[in-house]
Structures are given as structure tokens and as C-alpha cells.
Amino acid sequence: MIHEEPNENGQFHISPFWPLVLVSAAFVILEAYQFTLIFTQRMGLQRQIQQQSEVVTRANQTQNELQRVVMELLALADTGNADAKAIVAKYKISNSAPAAPAK
């Protein structure tokens, strides 16, 4: 606290408590700011993870549907359908095991 009356040297006396309070307040404000930044980043990352998982789910569904269509096309070609045989020959479609995923 600042005293109203100067001491014997003509200077005002400042309590050592005030610099400690100011440094502590600055630290609390800095930590609060960093916490809000981290919280905002975390929410953004969670949102991106959710969006990516939805995209992956849709991609898997599309891949499964395409695989089903190709298997039906191959079955039609095996039964003697001329159009199906032409498509299979043109695009060199074959029924082989899927490649192992890269590690």
C-alpha cells in the first residue's frame, strides 16, 4: 500500500505485496488466455475428427457398393451376357483378392 505521507527520505513507501499481486495477476491472466486457446483448439480438432470419420464411413459404403456392382457384373459376364463380357474385357476387370494394405 502507498502511504500518504513520505518517509524520512522524502520518498513514498510501497509495500512489497503489490509487485507480487501484479505478477500473480499477470500470470493468472496469461494462463486463462492459454487455457481458452487450448480449449478452442481441442474443440476444433474434435470437430475435424468427427467430420473425417463421417467421410471415411461414406467412402467405405461407396467402396462396398462398387464392389457389389462389380461382383454382379462379373456374375453376369459368367452367365454369358454379351454387354457384361464387353465391359469386363474393356476395363480388364477380374475377380482377385484385394491387395494387402501398406504398412
- Matching residue, cell 454379351: 82
- Residue 103 pLDDT grade (very low, low, confident, very high; cuts 50, 70, 90): low
Which 3-state string (H, E, C) describes 11-78? CCCCCCHHHHHHHHHHHHHHHHHHHHHHHHHHHHHHHHHHHHHHHHHHHHHHHHHHHHHHHHHHHHHH
Q: Where are the domains of the chain?
A: 17-91
Instruction: Give dist(CA 93, CA 22) in Å, integer.
Output: 74
- In eight-state DSSP terms, residue 2 is -
Mean pLDDT of 68-78: 94
Cell of 11: 520518498
- Residue 14 pLDDT grade (very low, low, confident, very high; cuts 50, 70, 90): confident
Instruction: Give dist(CA 3, CA 25) in Å, integer.
Output: 22
Mean pLDDT of 41-67: 95
Q: Which of 6-10, 22-26, 35-39, 51-55 has the lowest mean pLDDT?
A: 6-10
Mean pLDDT of 59-74: 95
- Residue 18 pLDDT grade (very low, low, confident, very high; cuts 50, 70, 90): confident
